[in-house]
Amino acid sequence: MNERTQEKWPEIPYGAWRETCAALHLYSQIIGKYRLARTPWVNHSWHATLYPDARGFTTGLVPDGPVGIELSLDLIDHQLIGVGTNGLTGRVPLRPMSAATFHRETLDLVRRLGGTPEFNGTPNEIPDAIPFAEDRMERPYDADAVNRFFRASVAVTAVLLTFRTGFLGKVSPVHLFWGSFDLAVTRFSGRRAPLHPGGIPALPDEITREAYSHEVSSAGFWPGGGAVDFPAFYAYAYPAPPGFADARISPEAAYYDNSLGEFLLPYDHIRRAADPEASLLAFLESSYRAAADLGAWDPALECEIGQPGRPRII
């Protein structure tokens, strides 16, 4: 692996920053819940997500009464940045602290910016989670590990954005779901899906069922946690068509995890590949191909990968 590739696709072993990652996950939930509380509902909860930006992850502009506010996790200078349309700004340093401290300081920041410091205070998709205001356990903050995760997320985002362009049908933005703490992009067949059974920890079934109201082929990346103790890419279909689990997916390091019901590809395989971007794109394309071919999706939904400066040929 050359030095440039190593810089772009850094090592991010989950075990080495597990507790910091858990803290960052909670911090993303706190600012995500602020956005969720103030933003009109968009299909599949797309209004709640965070977006990658040049320094970390952001809520984008959140309408809040007479002002608009943007909250961003700056993972280069390690701070929460708040910006208001009224010209006010504020910062909260990311450091070793408790979720309760970050929650309180985020509410104070929103208040100083002229916003409404009110949102649901209980984590989602975390089993047996403690409300933010009551979670006083001191958590570490490994700034180097956080920055390496950010750099990896930038590299992943670039490939997901490229993959997204090869579809004319309904497709999500590339966004961070703070509930499960994963970067994702999702394609839709346009057909209704069977009612989802729900059952995701700390997430109301009505939310899950709205998210999966239509057939999807989804893929993304997360740093590790739960049943997957390493950073990995994933791909799944809902509903999974017959034969999906047995499909041949590229590269060869990809495999189907029966307990999760999705394909996994270790991040380390991609970062060590001769061409990481091409290898990851092969995983995204082949897993989609399995879902679309076995699920009889309309081929007219597909198109060539987009190129800068080249309009689509109608």
Q: Please state at what angle helix 143-164 crosses helix 276-294, rounded to 10 degrees.
A: 50
Q: How many CA atoms lie within 13 A of 237 on its CB side?
A: 26
Mean pLDDT of 287-298: 98
Per-residue pLDDT tens for 273-283? Answer: 999 999 999 99
- What value does the mean pLDDT take over residues 192-218? 97
Give residue 125's domain range: 15-134
Q: Are 266 and 224 in contact (CB under 8 A)?
A: no
Average pLDDT along the chain: 97
**2 pLDDT tier (thresholds 50, 70, 90):** confident
Q: Give pLDDT, residue 226.
A: 83
What's the whole-number mean pLDDT along residues 40-67?
A: 98
- Residues 295, 178, single domain; the answer is yes
Would the pLDDT of 1 be above 80?
no
* 284 in the same domain as 170: yes
The whole-number pLDDT of residue 303 equals 95
Q: pLDDT band for position 227 (50/70/90)?
A: confident
The answer on 206 and 121 residing in a single domain is no
In this structure, the answer to whether residues 125 and 178 fall within a common structural domain is no
Residues 38 and 115 both lie in one domain = yes
167 shares its domain with 284: yes
Whether residues 187 and 56 share a domain: the answer is no
- Regarding whether 108 and 34 lie in a shared domain, the answer is yes
Residues 107, 181, single domain; the answer is no
Whole-number pLDDT of residue 195: 97
What's the pLDDT tens digit per position in 98-150? Answer: 999 999 999 999 999 999 999 999 999 999 999 999 999 999 999 999 999 99
Is residue 6 included in any domain, yes or no? no
User: Is residue 159 located within the same domain as residue 271?
Assistant: yes
Residue matched to tokens 């509903």 = 239
Give residue 71's pLDDT.
Answer: 98
| Residue 168 belongs to some domain of the structure | yes
pTM: 0.96
**Residue 3 domain flag:** no
| Last residue within a domain, chosen from 105, 134, 163 | 134
Number of structural domains the chain divides into: 2
Q: How far apart are alpha carbons 250 and 265 in whole angstroms?
A: 9
Same domain, yes or no, for 21 and 91?
yes
Calculate mean pLDDT across residues 186-191: 98
